[in-house]
A and B are shown apart, each in its own frame.
Chain A
């Protein structure tokens, strides 16, 4: 869609590319050297370019130039204004001149300001972008301040000035909070659902519905209990067969069978036969012949089948229709459940295998690292470093991308995260040449990984099942939206907060969608349905549907713009400062709230340097009003500033903060200091520097990409 260079792999190249000059674009430049006649060397955005001036060469060093074309090896430029910028007034008239050159006759004050911002950042300006800018600045809703802040954000992110960029970013920064829009959408579609109540129940509260339905069935069964009971023998026999087939532990199966036989309505000879078979089977099992035992049981079942079915016929016919209805209903539920259970066991088995192989590989790598660093001592760095890097990468990949983390318990996940950060530490030590210390850490990590065991956690498995179950139901766009909203907001409360969870939340919003789609297309694989599991996808689907019906609701496009805006604001930066912005819906005491996250950090290749970054969370709470939390991490030392306007806020929060400290220590962070300030005292200052602040403070998905959780 609108995101083009989300995955621009090489920042340097991307930067160079920005410097391709197009005719008609306007730049700010400094004259470095004056050559003969009209030649000069200009510095534009840090690069020196040979140019030839058209008309007279300006006297001042600071100039604003318009690109006019290429002449031999020179680029032809025209000086528009020379800018000594002595006074505010002069500056203003310069801008006016620039704008006039681009075909704008009477610029508004806002437009002038916006243009100024763009030129200040050495961004190119041309007719089209000025036109877009003018449209946006003069006509978009919101206050002029908000519009300007949007422009500033776009400029800071070095996004091209296009209408869609401006709109999306505006929506993300200043539009209605995402959660509000989403709730509205949900409300609109919920009403639709009310017409068809059953459907709605299945979609929104699957867990409860099934149990309710089962209850219903039970009641109906007890209503015509007698007929049904007599009708059962052959069914029961089948059930018993299934039990034997499905129960992994044969002894369990036998005890289940015995229970059934005791309370059952089979005629005596049949019961006796079955009991005999069970006894014989038990003997076989004790000899270790489980398969034979199972076979014996199955044979016994087939042997008595005939006489049991006779019992069936002897029984009076019940209200067949009613029974069939219930039966069909019941079996349907059971079968879908079974299917899920089956895939779960398979997934678990596979995840266990994956975990084992990961463990083995890690051990092998770490072993190699140790041996290498022991034998080569300080010369080992070049050999060990890449190995260490791949190990860390593999580990991180496992934490964030593989399915096993969706199933395992919190402790394992945390341990793996800790391992990852410790290894990063080792890498740093190694770089400093301190191979002994590094070796010690590697040893520690090794023994830790050795101890790890794959233990699926019940909560997570349950969550996984419910998700799988939802996948079975085909939905229309509107249903999907409701489900997505439901899931997004519930996710945080349904499970423990963890790095993986946060990552999934961001993925669920669709902030990763475009990259994922790209990867999928590149790898030539077709989606496994997982791709459709995000908000952006759902919104787009809904939009398409609405377009087909000839109407596009404003809210849908708003929400979509919002998400796209977030993506734009979080795209990887070309400079070595990475900034990001997220707008996450979060469930806070039964109410969906908007959590704004600004991330700011150094850019390390494609990754965010999560050990040195700053995060700013802004959330509106019911009891405390707006709370801002500023977290700055320098070499794993955190300094925390909590901003709130409530009196005695400090006293109330301090104990909580202490507890939080402990938890952060667990993942390897130290809280160096903790301060409380007023939010609004700062806010005044923020008003002016809000833009700057937002932009400088917008940073990473640190905690998502690298994984640590901030309890908020």
Chain B
């Protein structure tokens, strides 16, 4: 059953898609949890891998020009991905729960930001945070 068509997805803003990613990640973790409870390790493995993929995608989508938050998020994602692999290795529900809590916080913060949808950072401070970027040379 399709919950959302491709067409509708194309209409979504990048921010909304990020929110969907958080949610999908959570859903996969929850599914994995119940699969472990049922001792269906094969499906649990699949779900956890999927969750890992999503985390990776989230990490790839980071905009480092946004300032320090991005770097912090990067660290959190990396940590979560690490833990997730451990959880998958041992099929450890406790770690999954821990990850779920983290994700929920991130997701709710993100959703709040989505509702407010306002950039409080002043332009000058934005320039300051991305000062490093401005003076770096890119290679083509």
Which A residues contact B (CB, under 8 angstroms)?
Answer: 244-249, 287-292, 294-295, 298, 338, 341-342, 345-346, 348-349, 364, 367-368, 371
Interface 9-mer from B43-51, B73-81, B105-113: B105-113
B21 smallest CB distance to A (angstroms): 10
The 3 closest A-B pairs by CB, nearest first: A288-B111, A248-B11, A345-B10
The complex places the Cα of A348 from the Cα of B7 at a distance, in Å, of 11
What residue of chain A has the Cβ atom nearest to residue B13's Cβ? A248
**Are B7 and A294 in contact, with the CB atoms below 8 A?**
no
A contact residues around B6 at 8 Å (CB): 342, 346
Contacting residue for A248 out of B8, B19, B22, B140, CB 8 A: B8
Give the residue of B7, B10, B20, B108 whose beta carbon is less than 8 angstroms from that of A290.
B20
B23–A291 touching, CB < 8 Å: yes
- Residue pair B5, A288 in contact (C-beta under 8 Å): no
Instruction: State how many angstroms separate the Cβ of B2 from the closest Cβ of chain A.
Output: 5
* Pairwise interchain contact A288-B107, C-beta atoms closer than 8 A: yes
Contact present for B140 and A364 (CB under 8 Å): yes
Q: Which chain A residue has the least Cβ–Cβ distance from B6?
A: A342
Asked, given contacts A288-B108, A290-B20, whether A245 binds B137 with beta carbons under 8 Å apart, the answer is no
- Give CA–CA (A249, B16) in the complex, Å: 10
Query: With contacts A345-B7, A345-B10 known, is A371 near B111, CB below 8 A?
Result: no
Q: Which residues of B contact A290 (CB under 8 A)?
A: 16, 19-20, 23
Judging by beta carbons under 8 Å apart, are A245 and B4 in contact? Answer: yes
| Cβ B23 vs Cβ A288 within 8 A | yes
> Is B9 located at the chain interface by the 8 A CB criterion?
yes
**Smallest CB-CB separation from B2: which chain A residue?**
A245
Query: Do B7 and A371 touch (CB < 8 A)?
Result: no
The 20 sampled A-B contact pairs (Cβ below 8 Å) are A248-B11, A248-B12, A288-B19, A288-B107, A288-B110, A292-B23, A294-B4, A298-B1, A298-B3, A338-B7, A341-B7, A342-B6, A342-B7, A345-B7, A345-B10, A345-B11, A346-B6, A364-B140, A368-B137, A368-B138
> How far, in angstroms, from A367 to B16 measured CA to CA in the complex?
32
Q: Tell me whether B39 is interfacial, beta carbon within 8 Å.
A: no
**20 extra interface residue pairs, beta carbon distance < 8 Å, beyond A245-B8, A246-B7, A248-B12:** A245-B2, A246-B8, A248-B7, A248-B11, A249-B11, A288-B22, A288-B110, A288-B111, A289-B23, A289-B26, A290-B20, A294-B3, A298-B1, A341-B7, A342-B7, A346-B7, A364-B138, A368-B137, A368-B138, A371-B137
Q: Is B131 an interface residue (CB 8 A)?
A: no
B8/A291 in contact, CB under 8 A:
no
- Give B90 Cβ to nearest chain A Cβ, in Å: 28
The B interface, classified by DSSP as helix, strand, loop or mixed, is helix
Question: Closest B-chain residue to A363, C-beta based?
Answer: B138
State in angstroms the CA–CA spacing of A348 and B10 once bound together: 8
Report B134 CB to chain A, min CB distance, Å: 8
Cα A289 to Cα B2 with chains together (Å): 16
CB-contact partner of A291 in B24, B110, B114, B138, under 8 A: B24
- Which residue in B4, B5, B111 is a CB contact (below 8 Å) of A287? B111
Q: Please give, as numbers and ranges, the residues of chain A lying within 8 Å of B8 by CB-CB distance.
A: 245-248
- Contact residues in B for A298 (Cβ distance below 8 Å): 1, 3
Bound Cα distance from A348 to B11, whole angstroms: 9
B27 within 8 Å of A (CB atoms): yes
Within 8 Å CB of A244, what residues of B? 3
Set of chain A residues within 8 Å of B27, measured between Cβ atoms: 291-292
**Distance of A127 Cα from B83 Cα, bound (Å):** 87
The distance from the CB of B8 to the nearest CB of chain A, in whole angstroms, is: 4
**List of A residues within 8 angstroms of B22 by Cβ:** 288
A341 proximity list for chain B (CB < 8 A): 7
Which residues of the other chain, A, contact B19 by a CB distance below 8 angstroms? Answer: 288, 290
B75 → chain A closest CB, angstroms? 23
Q: What B residues does A364 contact at CB under 8 A?
A: 138, 140
Bound-complex Cα distance A168 to B23 (A): 66
Pick from A287, A342, A348: contact of B108, CB below 8 A: A287
Which A residues are CB-close (under 8 A) to B20? 290-291
**Bound Cα distance from A54 to B12, whole angstroms:** 83
Q: Report the bound CA distance from A204 to B133 in whole Å.
A: 55
- Does the CB pair B3–A295 fall under 8 Å? yes
CB distance from B110 to the nearest CB of A (A): 7
A349 in contact with B111 (CB, 8 Å)? no
Complex-state Cα separation, A345 to B12, whole angstroms:
10
CA distance A346 to B114 in the complex (A): 23
Task: Decide if A349 touches B10 in the complex (CB within 8 Å).
Answer: yes
Residues on B with beta carbons closer than 8 Å to the beta carbon of A289 = 23, 26
Give chain B residues whose Cβ lies under 8 Å from the Cβ of A295.
3
Task: Specify the chain B residue showing the minimal Cβ separation from A299.
Answer: B1
On chain A, the residues within 8 Å of B108 by CB distance are 287-288
A292 to B114, CA, bound (A): 18
- Residues of A near B111 (CB, < 8 A) are 287-288
Across-interface contacts of A248 in B (CB, < 8 A): 4, 7-12
Question: Roughly how many angstroms separate A364 CA and B136 CA in the complex, as a whole number?
Answer: 10
Complex: A342 Cα to B10 Cα, angstroms: 9
Q: Which residues of A contact B114 (CB under 8 A)?
A: 288
Q: Which residues of the partner chain B approach A246 to less than 8 Å between Cβ atoms?
A: 5, 7-8
CA distance A171 to B107 in the complex (A): 70
Residues of A near B4 (CB, < 8 A) are 245, 248, 291, 294
A248 to chain B, nearest CB (A): 4
Q: Note all chain A residues with C-beta closer than 8 A to B5.
A: 245-246, 342
A371 to B136, CA, bound (A): 11
Closest CB-CB distance, B123 to chain A, in whole Å?
13
Q: How far is the CA of A249 from the CA of B4 in the complex (A)?
A: 10
User: A291 to B26, alpha carbons, bound, how many Å?
Assistant: 11
CB 8 Å contact bits of B23-58 with A (1 = contact, 0 = none): 110110000000000000000000000000000000
* Residues of the A chain whose Cβ atoms lie less than 8 Å from the Cβ of B138: 364, 367-368
Q: In the complex, what residues of A have CB within 8 A of residue B9's CB?
A: 248
CA A342 – CA B11 in complex, angstroms? Answer: 10
Complex alpha-carbon distance, A244 and B4, angstroms:
7
For A287, the chain B residues whose CB sits under 8 A away are 108, 111
Residues of A within 8 A of B1 (CB): 298
Closest residue of chain B to A347, judged by CB?
A: B10
Alpha-carbon gap, A287 to B107, bound state (A): 9
Q: Which of A249, A294, A345, A367 has the most CB of B within 10 A?
A: A345
Measured CB to CB, the closest approach of chain B to A468, in angstroms, equals 14
Q: How far is A687 from B108 in the complex, measured between Cα atoms in Å?
A: 81
**CB neighbours of B12 from chain A (8 A):** 248
Nearest Cβ on chain B to A342's Cβ, whole angstroms? 4
- Say how far B126's CB is from chain A's closest CB, in angstroms: 13
Which partner residue on chain A sits nearest B26 by CB separation? A289
CA distance A246 to B9 in the complex (A): 9
Q: State the CA gap A291–B3 with chains docked (Å).
A: 7
Q: Which residues of B contact A349 (CB under 8 A)?
A: 10
Given the complex, which residues of A lie within 8 Å of B10, measured CB to CB? 248, 345-346, 348-349
How far apart are A156's CB and chain B's nearest CB, in angstroms? 44
> Which one of A246, A248, A249, A349 has the greatest number of beta carbons of chain B within 10 Å?
A248
Query: A291 vs B4: C-alpha distance in the bound complex, in angstroms?
Result: 8
Q: Which residues of A contact B140 (CB under 8 A)?
A: 364
